[in-house]
Amino acid sequence: MDPEDKICEEDTWIKSSSSHESCEPPNNQPLTSFDSLEQKMDGSSFLDYGTTFDEQFPGFNQPSVAHKINDKNPILGKHYNQMSEAQPSNKVEDWDPRAILNNLSFLEKKIHQLRDMVHLIVGRREQVMGQRDQLLVHQQQLITANLTSIIVQLISTAGSLLPSVNPTVSSSSAIGSLGHFGGVTNSSGFFPNSGIPNINNVNKVDLSNQTDLTGYCGAEQNCSVEDHELKSDDDADEGENLPPGSYEILQLEKEEILAPHTHFCTICGKGFKRDANLRMHMRGHGDKYKTPAALAKPSKESTSESMLIKRYSCPYVGCKRNKDHKKFQPLKTILCVKNHYKRTHCDKTYICSRCNAKKFSVLADLKTHEKHCGRDKWLCSCGTTFSRKDKLFGHISLFQGHTPAIPVDEPSDPGQSSEAPKVGQMDIDFKSSAPSGSAFQNAMDTKFSGDDSTSISQLNFDTSDSGFNEFPRPPFEDAGSSFSFLLSDAYGYPPKNGRYSNSNDLE
Amino acid sequence: MKKQKSIPEPNFNRFDLLSDEIVFLILDSLDDPLDKKSVSLVCKSLYAIESRHRKILKPLRSEHMKKNLIRYPFISHLDLSLCPVITDSSLGVISGYCKETLRSINLSRPRFFSHVGLSNLLVNCRNLVEIDLSNATNLKDLAAASIAEAKNLEKLWLVRCKSITDIGLGCIAVGCRKLKLLSLKWCFGVGDLGVGLIAVKCKEIRSLDLSYLPITNKCLFQVLELQHLEDLILEGCFGIDDDSLTALKQGCTSLETLDMSRCQNVSHIGLSSLTSAAGCLRQLSLSYGSQVDLALADSLQKLSMLQFIKLDGCQVTSSGLKAIGICCVSLTELSLSKCSGVTDEGLSSLVTKCVDLRKLDVTCCRTITYASVAHITNSCTSLTSLRMESCTMVSAEAFILIGQRCQFLEELDLTENNIDDEGLKSISRCSQLASLKLGICPNITDKGLIHIGNCCSKLIELDLYRSAEITDSSILAIARGCTLIETINIAYCKNITDRSLVSLSKCSKLNTLESRGCPLITSFGLAAIAMGCKQLTKLDIKKCQNIDDTGMVPLAYFSQNLRQINLSYTSVTDVGLLSLANIRCLQSMTVLHLECLTPSGLAAALLACGGLTKVKLPLSFKSLLPPPITEHLEYRGCVFQWRDKAFQTDYDPKSWKLQLTEEE
């Protein structure tokens, strides 16, 4: 097969995949962006994704018969359509595992196809050696496009479950798994009571947009829960009011707290962060560690009932969390101790690479911050940024002389913002790697991240060194004609409705 | 001048004996700007003194800004609301010449300037205390940030600056701490946060206009804590409701004026909690709001100082009106315009209690009759203003009572009433009458109007729209007796001829003449007006078919103050239109259904009239005018309004009246 034919093939592929992700532009830009994303997979979240993704589908790696891609495509599209049409009629009050099963089998098929394609490529690569470079690029794009669509589908499947899942999330293990996409897929079994209507929504409406949003939601929820958890380290137990003496006070030493590993193999001395990993490791030391009883998680009941409630003290003398403090407030768990000690008594060694301003002593805090960094669009003249407008105004009303700073003026013509999706932005969050639908997100990012030089350079005017007064003059709106519109607007308010949809309020 | 030369000492100027201060005092007492102009033309020294004396400048165009500012170095108030175009460079000129002397600038109409020019102006003119930026819809938060540089600002109008958001307003709040007056009407981008910050930072605020803002109780709490707030306008704030107002701990004690019109979600419950502390409230507007009944009147009980209530467009009950009369005895002004449910009983019981009433508006209270007027005139003898348009149930005899009992009337609106000559004769006793509206009063004739002309020498405004029975003799009497008249409307008075216009040309203060649909008027009459009434600024000669180019030429030559003209349905051609270009003040022109007008003639006229800001043209010309010309005119600040109206032949007045009654 000569290369031109292949390009045609690829085009149809892209088309067909864009039928799943209807917002995806026909050009290859988003794909290449994903490309660059893959290359920049040094961020830990991407590593997470990569590994979990691999782990998720180990069973699909058996070789199978190679199909012609063209033959497969229509079926694939049809299948998807059927599914999306079938879902709305499937409105069940309670969670329907069949829907999830449908989704999963669809994914399975897709992955099969993808693997077939990779096989095909592997086969061809040996045949055609001449036009390799160009081919390689196209092939890579093809695969990444498919991977993207699979991931999007995965997120949609899992993400649709999230809102109903949220109340049940309380343990840190569930929270942790939410952040990773592998964990999200698992959640179909994890949360058996989640509602189906969300899935319907996802399939009914523009899929790509929805999935992106749900992915976003998932991340948001994740971090908000995380935030809460972080705070609880220090504050939540204040209301606990355990009478002194009713619990056992443990105090770990500084070295213990800061040690990278907490679980050590009694045989070889190897350290682990997690007990589960230690248990897995122990298997290597003999058959007696391989019994289900030894591998199982030590059950909580047996330990907690027998023992007094444990509370922890901070080793730092003079700290409120130290047992010698007059108003001693104990810490609940070892994790609390660790986070508390690092936050309050250690240097902040993790610096945000995006803003180069915020420093953290706990890696998780940095990650949480990085999710929001640059999106704090409400800026004060003192340089402080706020994620919420009312927080900014509260700050300004408190301090003398602080004024709201006007961020980069909106791109002067509306068309400009629509062509704003940028490759450079793609590597910030995994969620923006679903190219379609994230354009808005990206546009927002660029608008307000004043210090992010890469994003600004994407805009057509150079703002990096000019003061506010030197910005390009915005075009005039027709003042005369807008008057009547304004009046009609004025009377168009909903009469008994406390909230207005303020067009300038992007939240 | 020749006489002066014959005096032995030719080098000596007698005006040199007068010190500047004395001339300033003399100039101060000259009200008419034309008089001052005459003074300045006497000699060089008076010219120079007049230049130094002038504080206020209201130019029509920005082209000669530099010259004007050089001539008048002490301008403190610059009103640019008539200039169609003000660019950043014109603002640069102003900031370069005015510097610290400028205290007030009005930029409420012109477009084409940006935050750059504004910033330049505010940096250079640091003593600015008043800025009017209304209608600057293109200004964004950056402009607001540059306003914040004016630290001494006390009054700021931002009406309809819809692109300014909370962020911009926040900058103003922080920068302009001395603000006393702020108008944010129709600034849809501004919400609770911005207004709240204003209330927190600008403690000096006296007057605050928050009309049509999407605000809720959140910022209202903060606003009401302002110590000096006297004047609060909350018109059309739908986000404010009873629930939030009842949560109000304490109202504003300093409040004197409160406008809550069109607040649909506020009833007497919210009002009473808002006004509970505002003991010194003097003015209250509840127009187009909730029903005016006993409960609402009860909420007004604590407001013993209340002088002015505006209840326009409300549903009122008789018991409510009665209760208002009982609790607000010191009322001097009451407006019930377009209220439904105003009955003789309710109105009578109200006015019998409020004997101090000075102004009463019962426009379109169609159910009131002779009884109401009898009670009004009986108890409110010191009325200065009575507006009762379209009170069609009131009989002719009632108007005799008005003349007999209310002799201090200055303003009387009797449009569409049953008044007859007897009533007019009685009303002519009101010698203070300045404004009299008798539009659509078919029963009045010359007989009654001659009495008005003979007795009401202070008349300034007279409206005779469609009072079809009157003829030249009325107008003659008016022109002879009411020499101060400034505005007269004789539209559709079909019997009016040139004689009337010739007599009106003696009224030198006349500035507005509306003679629409007077077919007997010709160019001769118009020429007389043009020559006699130099102050003429507005002229409507629509449907005066006998007016042609010969009327336009004297108009163009003599009426140099003409700003607005309507020429539709006249016989004016290209020549007449082109001659109007000689009027340098001309800003607005309506040219519909001119049969002999050609596109090229129109284009030439439009190009020649440099100051045009608004032109109303037939839609058919839109495609005929070359696009570059329209573009050029738009660049000069001219707004085109294209109309596609069918050619109308005027109704016979009788059939028109018939149609009116059918509509009712």
- The ipTM estimated for the assembled molecules is 0.79
> Average of pLDDT values for A412-419?
37
> Average of pLDDT values for A351-357?
81
Nearest-by-Cβ selection for B175 from A403, A483, A494: A403
Percent of chain B surpassing pLDDT 70? 95
Contact assignment for B174 to A471 by CB distance below 8 Å: no
Nearest-by-Cβ selection for B162 from A402, A409, A486: A486
Q: Does B114 touch chain A (CB under 8 A)?
A: yes
Q: How close is the nearest chain B Cα to the Cα of A462, in Å?
A: 17
Q: What is the pLDDT of residue A74?
A: 44
Contacts of B148 in chain A (CB under 8 A): 403
> Average of pLDDT values for A44-67?
41
H or E element, residue B512: strand B512-514
Contact assignment for B188 to A482 by CB distance below 8 Å: no
Contact assignment for A469 to B119 by CB distance below 8 Å: yes
Q: What is the pLDDT of residue B337?
A: 94
Q: Burial-class residue B542 by CB neighbours within 10 Å (0-12, 13-18, 19+).
A: buried
The distance of Cα A503 from the centroid of its chain, to the nearest Å, equals 27
Which has the higher per-residue pLDDT, B595 or A20? B595
Q: How close is the nearest chain A Cα to the Cα of B144, in Å?
A: 10
pLDDT at B22 over 90: no
Which has the higher per-residue pLDDT, B597 or A292? B597
Which has the higher per-residue pLDDT, A280 or A1? A280
Alpha-helix runs per DSSP H in A382-478? 389-398, 414-418, 439-448, 453-458
- Among A221-225, A353-357, B100-104, whose mean pLDDT is lowest? A221-225
In order of A263, A368, A457, B62, B105, the CA distances from A446 in angstroms are 44, 20, 9, 40, 38
Interval B69-114: pLDDT, tens: 999 999 999 999 988 889 999 999 999 998 889 999 999 987 789 9
Report residue A206's pLDDT band, with 50, 70 and 90 as the boundaries. Answer: very low
Q: Does B146 touch chain A (CB under 8 A)?
A: yes
Q: Does B542 touch chain A (CB under 8 A)?
A: no
Determine the Cα–Cα distance for residues B54 and B73; give it in Å rounded to an integer: 8
pLDDT at B640 over 80: yes
Q: How close is the nearest chain A Cα to the Cα of B626, in Å?
A: 21
CB count within 10 Å of CB B96 equals 14
Q: How close is the nearest chain A Cα to the Cα of B422, in Å?
A: 45
Q: Torsions phi, psi of B130, nearest 5?
A: -135, 130
Report residue A220's pLDDT band, with 50, 70 and 90 as the boundaries. Answer: very low
Contact assignment for B162 to A482 by CB distance below 8 Å: yes
Contact assignment for B170 to A494 by CB distance below 8 Å: no
* A187-219 CB burial, b ≥16 within 10 A, e <16: bbebbeebbbbbbbebbeeebbbbbbbbbbbbb
B residues 147-186 lying closer than 8 A (beta carbon) to A: 148, 160, 162-163, 165-168, 170-171, 174-175, 186
A165 is written with which tokens? 């899942």
pLDDT at B177 over 60: yes
Contacts of A503 in chain B (CB under 8 A): 188-189
pLDDT at A72 over 60: no
pLDDT at B653 over 80: no
Contacts of A494 in chain B (CB under 8 A): 238
Q: Does A63 touch chain B (CB under 8 A)?
A: no
Q: Does A412 touch chain B (CB under 8 A)?
A: no
pLDDT at A133 over 90: no
Helices B370-379 and B396-405: crossing angle, nearest 10°? 0
Q: Burial-class residue B536 by CB neighbours within 10 Å (0-12, 13-18, 19+).
A: buried
Preferred mutation among A476, A481, A504 to probe B, highest tally of B CBs within 10 A = A504
- Among A68-82, A321-335, B162-176, whose mean pLDDT is lowest? A68-82
Contact assignment for B171 to A401 by CB distance below 8 Å: no
> Average of pLDDT values for B595-622?
91
Collapsing DSSP to helix, strand or coil, B358 comes out as coil
Nearest-by-Cβ selection for B170 from A404, A469, A493: A404
Residue with tokens 């939240």: A507
* Overall pTM > 0.90: no
Report residue A107's pLDDT band, with 50, 70 and 90 as the boundaries. Answer: confident
Percent of chain B surpassing pLDDT 90? 70
B residues 53-112 lying closer than 8 A (beta carbon) to A: 111-112
Contacts of B171 in chain A (CB under 8 A): 403-404, 406
Q: What is the pLDDT of residue A406?
A: 82
pLDDT at A58 over 60: no
Determine the Cα–Cα distance for residues A87 and A96; give it in Å rounded to an integer: 11
Report residue A126's pLDDT band, with 50, 70 and 90 as the boundaries. Answer: low
What value does the mean pLDDT of chain B take?
90
Considering only CA atoms, which of B167, B217, B220 is closest in space to residue B194?
Answer: B167
Contact assignment for A396 to B170 by CB distance below 8 Å: yes
Strand partners, B231: B207, B257
pLDDT at B20 over 80: yes
Q: Does A504 touch chain B (CB under 8 A)?
A: yes
Contact assignment for A503 to B639 by CB distance below 8 Å: no
> Average of pLDDT values for A361-378?
80
The distance of Cα B357 from the centroid of its chain, to the nearest Å, equals 24
Nearest-by-Cβ selection for A396 from B174, B239, B265: B174
> Average of pLDDT values for B425-442?
94
Interval A440-455: pLDDT, tens: 444 344 334 334 333 3
Report residue A165's pLDDT band, with 50, 70 and 90 as the boundaries. Answer: very low
Contacts of B160 in chain A (CB under 8 A): 483, 486
> Average of pLDDT values for A158-181?
46
Which has the higher per-residue pLDDT, B176 or A384? B176
Q: Does A396 touch chain B (CB under 8 A)?
A: yes
Q: How close is the nearest chain A Cα to the Cα of B3, in Å?
A: 56
pLDDT at B631 over 80: yes
Contact assignment for A403 to B188 by CB distance below 8 Å: no
Q: Tell me A322's DSSP state.
A: S
Collapsing DSSP to helix, strand or coil, A193 comes out as coil
Q: What is the pLDDT of residue B204?
A: 93
Determine the Cα–Cα distance for residues B622 and B645; give it in Å rounded to an integer: 14
Q: Which residues contact B575 (CB under 8 A, 6 or more apart)?
A: B549, B552, B601
Q: Does B630 touch chain A (CB under 8 A)?
A: no
pLDDT at B262 over 80: yes
Contact assignment for B193 to A390 by CB distance below 8 Å: yes
Q: How close is the nearest chain B Cα to the Cα of A387, in Å?
A: 14
Determine the Cα–Cα distance for residues A365 and A358; give it in Å rounded to an integer: 10
Q: What is the pLDDT of residue A408?
A: 63
- Please name the residue of chain A whose CA is at the shortest distance from the CA of residue B143: A469
Q: What is the pLDDT of residue B23?
A: 86
Q: Does B197 touch chain A (CB under 8 A)?
A: yes
Interval B135-174: pLDDT, tens: 998 899 999 999 998 999 999 999 999 999 999 999 999 9
- Please name the residue of chain A whose CA is at the shortest distance from the CA of residue B289: A495
Preferred mutation among B86, B142, B288 to probe A, highest tally of A CBs within 10 A = B142
Report residue A364's pLDDT band, with 50, 70 and 90 as the boundaries. Answer: confident
- Please name the residue of chain A whose CA is at the shortest distance from the CA of residue B211: A490
Q: What is the pLDDT of residue A315?
A: 86
Contact assignment for B189 to A504 by CB distance below 8 Å: yes
Q: What's B509-516+532-664's CATH class?
A: alpha beta
Residue with tokens 């009632």: B398
Interval B322-354: pLDDT, tens: 999 988 888 999 999 999 999 999 999 999 999
Strand partners, B77: B56, B104
The contacts found for B545-548 with CB under 8 angstroms, 24 or more apart, are B545/B519, B545/B569, B545/B570, B545/B571, B546/B519, B546/B520, B546/B521, B546/B522, B546/B571, B547/B521, B547/B522, B547/B523, B547/B571, B547/B572, B548/B523, B548/B572, B548/B573, B548/B576
Nearest-by-Cβ selection for A486 from B165, B174, B186: B186
Q: What is the pLDDT of residue B432?
A: 94
Nearest-by-Cβ selection for A477 from B119, B137, B146: B137
Interval B360-411: pLDDT, tens: 999 999 999 999 999 999 999 999 999 999 999 999 999 999 999 999 999 9
Residue with tokens 């301008």: B75
Q: Does A390 touch chain B (CB under 8 A)?
A: yes
pLDDT at B614 over 60: yes
Contacts of B225 in chain A (CB under 8 A): none
Q: Does A1 touch chain B (CB under 8 A)?
A: no
Interval B466-520: pLDDT, tens: 988 899 999 999 999 999 999 999 999 999 999 999 999 999 999 999 999 999 9
Number of Cβ pairs closer than 8 Å across A and B? 109
pLDDT at A421 over 60: no
Show me where the domains of chain B are located.
16-49, 509-516+532-664
Determine the Cα–Cα distance for residues B130 and B153; give it in Å rounded to an integer: 6
Q: Does A288 touch chain B (CB under 8 A)?
A: no
Contact assignment for A473 to B114 by CB distance below 8 Å: yes
Contact assignment for B212 to A490 by CB distance below 8 Å: yes
pLDDT at A504 over 70: no
